[in-house]
A and B are shown apart, each in its own frame.
Chain A
Amino acid sequence: MNDDELDPRRDELLLAYLRSRSEGHVPDALRVAAMRPPPAARPASRWARGSRLVAGLSAAATLVAITLIVLATLPPGLGRLPTPQPSATGRATSAPSTSPAPSASAESFPSSVAGMPVITVAQAVELLHEGNLSGRAVAVGGYFAQYFPSCPFAGGYRGPFSDFCRMVAFTDSREASTLCHPWGASGSECSWAPDGVSNLGPFFMSETSGEQSLSALYQQLPVRLVVIGHSGDARQWQCSPDKRGGCGFAFVADRVAWVDGHDVPIGAPATIDAMTGTPIQPAMSLAEVARALGVGEELLTGAPFQAKDVWTIDPRWNLVGDNLVWFVRSITAEESAADPTRPEMVWLVDDETGELLAQHDLALAADYGPARIWVNALLHGIECCPGTEPRPYYSVESSGALVHESMVSGGASGSQNVTTFGPDTPLLLDPGTYTVTSWLATYDGGVIGEPTQECSIEITLRALDDVGLHADFPLNRPCTFASGALPSPF
């Protein structure tokens, strides 16, 4: 048998497989859009110039991609989008500010959702800038659109609240939120919302309830949307040092509550094991979890995660193990009829027993100041970027107790003989002394192999420390650790 070439007789199966990988035809949308490149002379924004050719197509592809991910990760029984329910219309324009209400010609919004008054985007932006949304929920109605242009490799850590590769508008006017306009026969051209317009682009996170109701509407943007959200999210501490302040003002969506005239029921979003991508299939339903907590209409969202992944949702909780826990947010009782915001609570519930494991306010304590470690790993002798070759992992122990364990992720870059993993999301730790261990293990089809080339370092952290931990893996020898400056680039 010729080792370099496939033999049509002996390798029939393999040849058929390889040919089948390329079966199919280019989608019609791609064919049409690609063959209608625009004239370069047409004035457009910087973003629009770079992405005009692919605008409509990219949005469609993104929609398909999002849909694929959602469908691929929905637990059994949750495969359908929530059934929209007609709702009352009207809109609160009272508290808290003197900002102008949207024009009278605007289509209507509900006056309240989940027992909370619906305020305008301009009002919410004012509350945000005054710091009044930190850890507090507010229901905001506006016109929403977002578009994901085709983007270059980010080239560094972006953090949880980044608008890299996302154009988003959530404003008080349909016109201002219309990001993309038809161009030519089949293309479109997209640009940011105009300067000077109150824009509160919400961040939809893995725990956000009801976001999937939007995915079916991406061809009809902008849509009227009421979203309940907050700022001052603890994940601001996962932003790079120079961006943390801005991240504190990120408007994080707890729940999509109403879309284009229809209520969106609360539902548990589909979640996955962050390490393997396996869909999470909890034993309890969100309704059962809410009953266990005694939470009714105050419920904002709830989603199941593996305990080891909770830190990616609320970095104040470092848990280990792959047992399932429910991460739940709710609002507390109304404090003042004039205040449209409500304090939020966060709960952790054991999926197996329904037991309340932990709870705290969503708002950060005034003296909250964790230390942060940023781990990256350098693998020598491995051509970038490996598929299932060994990948780096790390764990953190305190007084012999395991505090954290995860893959060093954040992307890989490098050359033929060296690959760098990370930096990725920093781990937040209380001041103290910790042992950090790193190792390599194969990763094949979601199965993690035996650890090899392990090494450890002991570190003592003070409040607000930012420590970079660099694990260096020579070929086939144990790694060495070094601590010091933050990994780059940021």
Chain B
Amino acid sequence: MKLSPARGPMSAAVDPAEFEALVGPWLDEMYRAAAAIVGRAEAADVTQDALLDAWRGLQRLRDPARIRPWLHAIVANRSRKQIRSWHSRPRLVDLSVTPEPAADDGDPGDLAARRDQLDRAFDRLSADQRICVALRYSIDLPVSEVAEALGIPEGTVKSRLHAAVHRLRASLVEEDR
């Protein structure tokens, strides 16, 4: 069983100013990563939980220079839990206008259909595949930093990307038929 430990009290030794200085610059990127993985409707919740985890675990960050992959690891963990929760409760959807995937001169109906097709394909990815794809292509982290954030070998990142990219490409091919 993968059960989350119950929350305990927050760390008493973290200086709020230090926390803000370290984490603040990465807040937007944390939110964007969460949005890319779980969708914008639930990104704020995931980011909020990730921040709480960061606050509680800041003392375990040995090298402040590695704050970025450390925060991405936390966002990835929180996103994984969020995805797991979709099986036991209604999933939120973002009702705001969604940007079109490409600013070409295609038919708006076709673009919406492609977007929908890609959404469906993305939803079919496993949690680990979603995280790898989001960090690599939505946040533009190099494979080496994705591997560092997730604590896995670069080869594993590549294999997950391979499988995910194959699925996403296939969805577009299906759409074109």
Set of chain B residues within 8 Å of A19, measured between Cβ atoms: 137-138
A421 to B169, CA, bound (A): 30
Closest to B41 in A: A68
The number of residues on chain B lying at the interface, defined by a beta carbon within 8 Å of a beta carbon of chain A, is 80
Question: For B10, B55, B83, which residue has the most chain A Cβ atoms within 10 angstroms?
Answer: B10
Residue contact A69 to B92, C-beta cutoff 8 Å: yes
A385 near B10 (CB under 8 angstroms)?
no
Q: How far is the CA of A4 from the CA of B159 in the complex (A)?
A: 7
A18 lies within 8 A of chain B by Cβ: yes
In the bound complex, what is the Cα–Cα distance between A14 and B137 (angstroms)?
Answer: 10
- Shortest beta-carbon distance from A482 to chain B in Å: 19
**In the bound complex, do residue B31 and residue A26 qualify as a contact, i.e. CB atoms below 8 Å apart?**
yes
Flag if B87 contacts A385 (CB, 8 Å): yes
| CB < 8 Å neighbour of B137 from A6, A57, A411 | A6
Whether B118 contacts A34 by the Cβ 8 Å rule is no
**Interface status of A383 (Cβ within 8 A of chain B):** yes
Give A365-397 interface residues, CB cut-off 8 Å to B.
Answer: 383-388
A413 touches B36 (CB 8 A): no
A25 at the interface (CB under 8 A from B): yes
Question: How many residues of A are counted as interface, with CB atoms below 8 angstroms from the partner's CB atoms?
Answer: 72
Identify which of B13-21, B62-70, B144-152 touches chain A.
B13-21
Residues of B within 8 A of A450 (CB): none
> A423 → chain B, closest Cβ, in Å?
11
Q: Which residue of A lies closest to B106 (CB)?
A: A13
Q: Give A1 Cβ to nearest chain B Cβ, in Å.
A: 8
Q: A20-B98, A384-B2 are in contact. Are A411 and B162 (CB under 8 A)?
A: no
Q: Which of B32, B48, B93, B134 has the most CB of A within 10 A?
A: B48
Q: Check A40 for interface membership: any CB of B closer than 8 A.
A: yes
Residue from A13, A30, A38 in contact with B31 in the complex, judged by beta carbons closer than 8 Å: A30
- From the candidates A31, A53, A154, name the one contacting B10 in the complex (CB within 8 A): A53
Q: Is the CB of B87 within 8 A of A409?
A: yes
Contact A26 B55 (CB under 8 A): no
Asked if A68 contacts B93 (CB within 8 A), the reply is: yes
| CB closest chain-A residue, reference B9 | A49
Q: Is the CB of A23 within 8 A of B48?
A: no
With A18-B137, A150-B52, A155-B1 already in contact, the answer to whether A61 and B44 are too (CB < 8 A) is yes
Pick the contact of B47: A26, A40, A409 (CB < 8 A). Answer: A26
| Residues 278 to 318 of chain A near chain B (Cβ within 8 Å) | none
Q: Which of B19, B102, B125 has the most CB of A within 10 A?
A: B102
Instruction: Write the nearest CB–CB distance from B86 to chain A, whole angstroms.
Output: 8
The answer to whether B126 touches A383 (Cβ under 8 A) is yes
Let me know if A22 is at the binding interface, CB within 8 A.
yes
B118 and A150 contact, CB distance less than 8 A: no
Asked whether, in the complex, the Cβ of B165 is within 8 Å of the Cβ of A13, the reply is: no
Render A6-41 as a binary contact track against B, CB cut-off 8 A, 1 for contact. Answer: 100001111111111111111100110111111111
- Interface of B toward A, CB cutoff 8 Å: 1-12, 14, 16, 19-20, 23-24, 27-28, 30-33, 35-36, 39-41, 43-45, 47-49, 51-52, 55, 81, 83-85, 87-88, 90-95, 98-103, 114-115, 118, 120, 122-128, 133-134, 137-139, 158, 161-162, 165-166, 168-169, 172
User: Could you list some 24 contacts between A and B, CB below 8 A?
Assistant: A4-B162, A6-B165, A11-B169, A15-B137, A16-B103, A21-B122, A23-B99, A24-B31, A26-B28, A27-B44, A30-B51, A35-B16, A35-B20, A37-B10, A37-B55, A50-B8, A54-B49, A57-B48, A58-B48, A152-B7, A385-B127, A388-B124, A412-B84, A414-B2
User: Told that A26-B28, A153-B84 touch, could you supply 12 new A-B pairs with CB distance under 8 A?
Assistant: A4-B161, A16-B102, A22-B35, A22-B36, A30-B31, A33-B48, A61-B45, A69-B90, A71-B95, A150-B48, A411-B87, A489-B1
Residues of A within 8 A of B (CB): 3-6, 11-27, 30-31, 33-41, 49-54, 57-58, 61, 64-65, 68-69, 71-72, 150, 152-155, 272, 277, 383-388, 409-415, 420-421, 444-445, 489
